[in-house]
Amino acid sequence: MGQAGIELLRPARKGERTRPGARFFKPWRQIIESINDILKGQLDLELRSGRTPAGVIARVIQRLLAMTTAIRHNCLRPLGGR
């Protein structure tokens, strides 16, 4: 990757100078962690094991679609209205 001019972004280690892109790590890490927590809770992937990979994939897609639909519905709903 170094020959292709690609540089990996990673946090700096102790005693290491600040690396390029370091300012992006904290906000992105918080977003990724919150998405992981939401998905673990919503999808129940840690509680039940899927019988087949296709079944697990179908369940994940079904729940993501349902969650996305609910979020979209809430965004379109007028504030204060029922």
Q: For residue 79, is pLDDT > 80?
A: no
Min mean pLDDT across 13-22, 27-36, 61-70, 73-82 is at: 73-82
41 against 69, higher pLDDT? 69
In tens, the pLDDT along 2-44 reads 788 887 777 788 898 888 777 777 777 788 888 888 777 776 6
pLDDT, residue 25, reads 76
The pLDDT, as a whole number, for residue 23 is 77
| Residue 14 structure tokens | 């102790």
Can you give the residue ranges of every domain in the chain? 54-82
Q: Which pTM value belongs to this model?
A: 0.46
Three-class secondary structure of residue 41 per DSSP: helix
Buried b / exposed e over 21-32, threshold 16 CB at 10 Å, is eeeeeeeeeeee
- Which has the closest alpha carbon to 21: 31, 6, 34, 43? 6
- 48 pLDDT exceeds 70? no
CA angle 73, 80, 34 (to 5 degrees): 50
Q: Residue 40 in contact with residue 52, Cβ under 8 Å?
A: no
Distance separating alpha carbons of residues 17 and 20, to the nearest angstrom? 10
